[in-house]
Amino acid sequence: KYTISGSARTDASNLITDDPAYRYAPFWSVGASWNAKGESFLKNVNWLDRLVVRATYGYNGNVDRSTSFKPLLNISTTQNTYIQDYMATIGSYGNPTLRWEKTGTLDVGVDFSFFNSKLYGSFDVYSKKGEDLIVSMSIPSINGTTSQKLNAAKMSNKGVELTLGSHMNILSDDIT
């Protein structure tokens, strides 16, 4: 009737920094569910096939590959017509304070099935909160550029999801 799950890991990326103190990041998730249909007070409810209440929380990370902790050069694939040589442009000025983008996600949901699966589905309420997200920010031009990608954004996303389905015969047993 009850399920508890969890996972934990440590990820590392040499795209973040050459400082080991910031390269590694722990990510984890925990979850629990309750099969309410398995309870004695719902055993004799014949129109209810399934009722599971669940909740999860997890914390994960992302590496934005469009930036780097050191300057990046973009080298052209063709020679310059005037100087007869390959040219390079600065792709990223480098961000020595680059960190993981991190997102925490909370999800609470119910899975259900009624009338021998004639109606089934799930209902979820979720909240996601991201921090240290990469954003292109304006910086003083004395730095050699007027914008830089930095871990300076936060984002919150909340919502609900409803999924409904049915297992009913349509016209014959061949189409359901």
**Per-residue pLDDT reduced to its tens digit, 131-166:** 999 998 898 888 778 888 888 999 999 999 999 998
Selection from 89, 87, 55, 85 nearest residue 72 by Cα: 89
* pLDDT score, position 3: 96
Is residue 149 a contact partner of residue 132, using CB atoms and an 8 Å limit? no
C-alpha torsion 4→124→128→147, nearest 10:
140
Residues β-bridged to residue 153: 133
User: How confident is the model over 34-83, as pLDDT tens digits?
Assistant: 999 988 999 889 999 999 999 999 999 988 887 888 888 888 989 888 89
Distance between CA 168 and CA 114 in Å, rounded? 12
Residues β-bridged to residue 79: none
What is the pTM (predicted TM-score) of this model?
0.76
Selection from 119, 70, 111 nearest residue 92 by Cα: 70
CA 79 vs CA 19, 74, 91: distances in Å: 37, 13, 18
Over 90: is that where the pLDDT of 90 sits? no
Sheet holding 48-62, edge to edge: 2-12, 24-35, 48-62, 101-114, 119-138, 147-165
Tokens of 79: 């020679």
Name the most confidently modeled range: 6-10, 79-83, 115-119, 147-151.
6-10
